[in-house]
Amino acid sequence: MIGKRTLSDEKLALITFSGPLSKTGELIEEVREFISSENLEIAGDPLVIFYTSPLKDDGRYDAGIPVKGESGGAGDIKIVTIPKHTVIFKEYSENREEAYEELIGYAEENRIDIIGAPREIYREKVREIQFPVIL
C-alpha cells in the first residue's frame, strides 16, 4: 500500500558518504556514538537519503538518525534540519526494487511531482521508502 503524509521539521545527525551502500550500518553506528557523546536524544529510526540511484550499490548518500537537542556536529557528522514537507511512501520487507518501481509508477499515474531525494527509514522489521512530493 502506498500512503501520503506530511512530515514536520526534522533535525538529523548525519554523515554524507560516497561509496558502497553496505557501509551504511557502520556510518549509522558512528552517528549513534556521536549522539551518545553529545547527550542528544534519538528522535526516530535510522535513515539514508540518496543523492544517486538507490538501486545501485555505490552512490552518494547521507546516513543518519533524527535527534532532539543542541549540537554543532563534529568531524564528518553534521546537524541539519529538514523543513516540513509531504511524502508518498511504501513499506517493504523483501523486494526493495519492486517497492521503488511501485512508488515511481504511482507518482507517474497520479501526476505527482517528486521534488527531492528519496530516503529509506530503517525500522526493526520493515523499511519505508519516502519520496518528497508536491501534490
| Domains annotated on the chain, with CATH | 2-134 (3.20.80.10)
Contact 89, 106 (CB under 8 A): no
Q: What's the chain's average pLDDT?
A: 96
Q: Residues 93, 6, 72, CA angle at the centre, nearest 5°?
A: 90
C-alpha span between 91 and 98 (Å, rounded): 11
Cell numbers of 128, please? 519505508
Residue-wise pLDDT tens digits, 35-68: 999 999 999 999 999 999 999 989 999 999 999 9
Confidence of residue 135 (pLDDT cuts 50, 70, 90): confident
Q: Residues 127, 133, 135, CA angle at the centre, nearest 5°?
A: 125
pTM exceeds 0.85 for this model:
yes
Question: What pLDDT, on a 0 to 100 scale, did the predictor assign at position 62?
Answer: 97
